[in-house]
Amino acid sequence: MEHDDPCTHPRDGNNLLVWSSEISTGPFSLLINSDYDTQTPPPTHLSINYLNRERPTDKNSQLNGYIQLPGGGLQCVDERILENQSGIIFETVSKAAVFLAKGKNVVGMSLPIKLFEPRSTLERMLDRWSFMPVFMRNMSGMNNLEKFKKVITMAVAGLYIAPSQEKPFNPLLGETLQAHWPDGTEAYCEHTVHHPPVTHFCIYAKDFTIDGYLELKGKFKKNSLVGGYKGKVRVKFNSGQIVSYTFPRFRAGGMIFGPHTVNWVRQMNFEDNSGLTAMIKLGPKRKKTWFTKAVGKIDDFRGEIQQSGSKVCEITGNWLKGLSFNGIKAWDIKRDLPVFHKFPINPLPSDWRYREDLIWLAKGYPEIAQAWKHKIEYRQRKDRKLRSLRLKHNK
């Protein structure tokens, strides 16, 4: 099966890592027809066996490299990540200040390869629906409230999946992702706007579709990076019910000094076209007076479902433990395990897996990955300038 995926083996030569010693790029590269550079040879593509390797699903594996803090949230203790970030974070924050002064989103900054993981933001986004196959099954006989609860459960349960202080690669304009789950559900994503970074997506399941677009945002606040997905996710059931929701924001602390922490903040909003609404606030219960303390941990949440303004039930829980409706647990982090997507052979030529910088990082060669990243970013800036000139000319 692996041989069906293009360029996973050398075209010429004996180096299994290098696709060609004569042609500068593979057939799906952004830099086709560029001059051959022996310092940045074209890599063989990642095999389908590597892409579809099994990912552990238990809580400890998902939170590997983190400890849960007594007051809530996570702290990164992974020595490799902390070492990679040492000395780079201050430089990055200084660079971000320049971006913010120009009114730009810090998500679009060019960053050192040491801060990255070999995944695209498109794939990281898809992890948020890892509980879709768990909670969104056999829904045709459910009423609107039951389906509404299932969407809330799926969305909240996915928050803890694979947190990371390593940055995924910003997608290239037009970059795509295709994936599927064991039950036959299919996912399609495309990066449609580069500045600001916007991705459209559509997921096709038996009883519903999920679609929408999300913009990845991020900005520095003192010692923290606060960011998340701006936009709405729409779940369209075959019955005609449409549920939409928003993601909360994340806060990565310790960007300049102190421990490196991760937590979700602010709120999630849900609504449907039958009058059901829900707001889930993340964090401890706020104190009512100056003389009382906030109750709970920073990873707790609470909220309620309303029908046309009237309370239906309470929502309580913790994004690192579980979720309950009126005290009845709907999701338990120890009991309910995620189901991760898989990738097909021979996707569109614009698929994320064909990026040379990402491939070389996955193969364990960060220096070559860094060089490819510079070349790709230069080409992106050049193309963007040409598009701007064409727009001005057409006006």
Q: Would you write out the chain's pLDDT as a tens digit for each of its 395 residues?
A: 445 678 999 999 999 999 999 999 999 999 999 999 999 999 999 999 999 999 999 999 999 999 999 999 999 999 999 988 876 666 665 655 554 555 555 445 568 898 899 999 999 999 999 999 999 999 989 999 999 999 999 999 999 997 777 889 999 999 999 999 999 999 999 999 988 899 999 999 999 999 999 998 888 888 888 998 999 999 999 999 999 999 999 999 988 889 999 999 999 999 999 999 999 999 998 765 555 567 899 999 999 999 999 999 999 999 999 999 999 999 999 999 999 999 999 999 999 999 999 999 999 999 999 999 999 999 998 988 888 887 777 76
Distances from the Cα of 254 to the Cα of 189, 227, 300, angstroms: 32, 15, 21
Whether residue 220 contacts residue 97, with contact meaning beta carbons closer than 8 Å, is answered with: yes
How far, in Å, CA of 317 to CA of 301, rounded? 5
CA–CA separation, 319 and 333 (whole Å): 9
Count H helices, E strands: the chain? 9, 19
Q: Are 153 and 283 in contact, with CB atoms under 8 Å apart?
A: no
Instruction: Report how far residue 339's alpha carbon sits from residue 70's, in angstroms, rounded to the nearest whole number.
Output: 29
Q: What angle do CA 40, 37, 31 make, to 5 degrees?
A: 75
Closest listed residue to residue 179, CA positions, set 144, 204, 206, 216 = 204
Q: For residues 174 and 144, is the Cβ–Cβ distance under 8 A?
A: no
Give the strand pairing for 249-253 and 224-230: antiparallel
Place of tokens 């004569």: 22
Task: Provide the token pair at 164.
Answer: 């990371």
Cα separation of 45 and 356, whole Å? 8
Contact at 8 Å (CB) between 333 and 318? no
